[in-house]
Amino acid sequence: MPELPEVETVRRGLEAVAVGRRVDKVSVTGARTVRRYGAAALRKGLTGRTFTAALRRGKFMALMLDDGAALVVHLRMTGQMIHVTDPRRTPKVPHTHVVLGLDDGSELRFVDPRTFGEMFVSEVPEGADLPAELGALGRDPVVDGLTPKQLGAILAGRKAPLKSVLLDQRLVAGIGNIYADEICHRARVRPTRPAGSLSPKEVAAVARWTGKVLEEAIAMRGSTLRDAKYVDVEGESGGYQARHAVYGRAGQPCPRCGAEVRRTRVGGRSSFFCANCQV
């Protein structure tokens, strides 16, 4: 599922193929994808505009436009942004909801079977760097950094499980179910621990591993699970799934200590941890 490393990989791909390109044609066939402001607003906001930059905050991408607005894209569970260099010879796959025709003859196709993803155009307020819809997001550990002190302030006094706090996009932006489990494992802390109960050392470990795990996953172009729902703009899978220590590995040995990885539920989400080396 696209989390920060996968979205960052897509962002880099879009930076390479879309920045400097003008949108000549906007075709919307999936109303749910543009549910926030509608198809007409998307067409109006994009047609004739040129992409000037590709930004990311958390799991949101913002493709900046030359009139001061931005195309905001969220892939949610199953969204894909596919760059097609030869549209006439590339059939549209099922669940293609939005197609942007670019001035070099290529297309950006938004594909999303479960239609949780969305796209919309929004103004960037004076003095801000991103549209207002992204304003409630917390720190992005890669863009903004996340020091032990900052994480400590976020966790302090909270009784909710550590993992639930890591997943709350208003507190920390970009971590999803997979990386939350991997970060907790590297930091040797159970995802079920009340967030406020971590020692300063544990907080520091979580902060440090948050950065390291996300950077490592970006370097490997993200994680593609068996359902292959995450691919980059070229349609290529990521490689970080080979490094997963606990996620999806219930019953298999912990790579660090050999004990059996267990599965539980935290905040309604499937969660994996090693009961031997995570305290």
Partner DNA sequence: CGCATATCCTGACTGC
Partner DNA sequence: TGCAGTCAGGATATGC
Q: In whole angstroms, what is the distance from residue 2 CA to residue 34 CA?
A: 19
d(CA 168, CA 246): 21
Q: Which stretch binds DNA (CB under 7 A): 46-54, 121-129, 173-181, 208-216?
A: 173-181
CA-closest candidate to residue 247, choices 148, 170, 175, 172: 175
Catalytic residue among 56, 59, 139, 249: 59
**Beta carbon nearer to DNA, 13 or 191:** 191
> Closer to DNA at the Cβ: 33 or 106?
33
Active site (annotated) includes residue 91: no
Contacts with DNA in 93-132 (CB under 7 A)? Answer: 94-95, 113-116
Do the beta carbons of residue 78 and residue 112 sit within 8 Å? Answer: yes
269 classed as catalytic: yes
CB atoms within 10 A of CB 260: 13
Q: How far apart are CA 128 and CA 162, in angstroms?
A: 31
First to last CA, the chain: 27
Per-residue DSSP letter, 260: B
Considering the rule CB under 7 A, would residue 32 count as an interface residue with DNA?
yes
Instruction: List the one residue from 178, 189, 214, 245 that touches DNA (CB under 7 A).
Output: 178
| Contacts for 109 with CB less than 8 Å, ≥ 6 apart | 81, 82, 83, 84, 92, 93, 96, 98, 99, 100
- The least CB distance from residue 193 to DNA, in Å, is 12
Least separation, in Å, of the C-beta of 114 and DNA?
4
Quick one: which segment of 64-72, 144-152, 198-206, 268-276 binds DNA (CB under 7 A)?
Answer: 268-276
Closest to 64 (Cα-Cα) out of 131, 159, 157: 131
Tell me which residue of 74, 193, 82, 203 sits closest to 130, measured CA to CA.
74
* Residue span 63-92 as binding mask against DNA, x where in contact by CB under 7 A, dash where not: -----------x-xxx--------------
Residue in 88, 136, 242, 251 binding DNA, rule: CB under 7 A: 136
Instruction: Give the separation between CA 106 and CA 189, rounded to whole angstroms.
Output: 47
Catalytic residue among 22, 36, 158, 269: 269
- Look at strands 96-102 and 69-74 and give their pairing: unpaired
Residues 149-168 vs DNA: string with x where CB under 7 A?
Answer: ---------xxxx--x--x-
Span 185-244, contacts to DNA by CB under 7 A: 195, 226-227
Binding segment toward DNA, per CB under 7 A, in 14-22, 80-88, 205-213, 262-270: 262-270
Which residue's CB is nearer to DNA, number 1 or number 70? 1
Q: What is the DSSP letter of 2?
A: -
**Least distance from C-beta 150 to DNA, angstroms?**
17
CB of 54 to DNA, least distance (A): 17
- What contacts 7, CB < 8 A, 6 or more positions away? 56, 58, 59, 60, 61, 75, 174
For residues 211 and 229, give the distance between their C-alpha atoms in angstroms, rounded to a whole number. 24
Contact residues: DNA, CB under 7 A: 1-3, 32, 58-60, 74, 76-78, 94-95, 113-116, 136, 158-161, 164, 167, 169, 176-178, 195, 226-227, 267-270
The residues annotated as belonging to the active site are 2-3, 59, 269
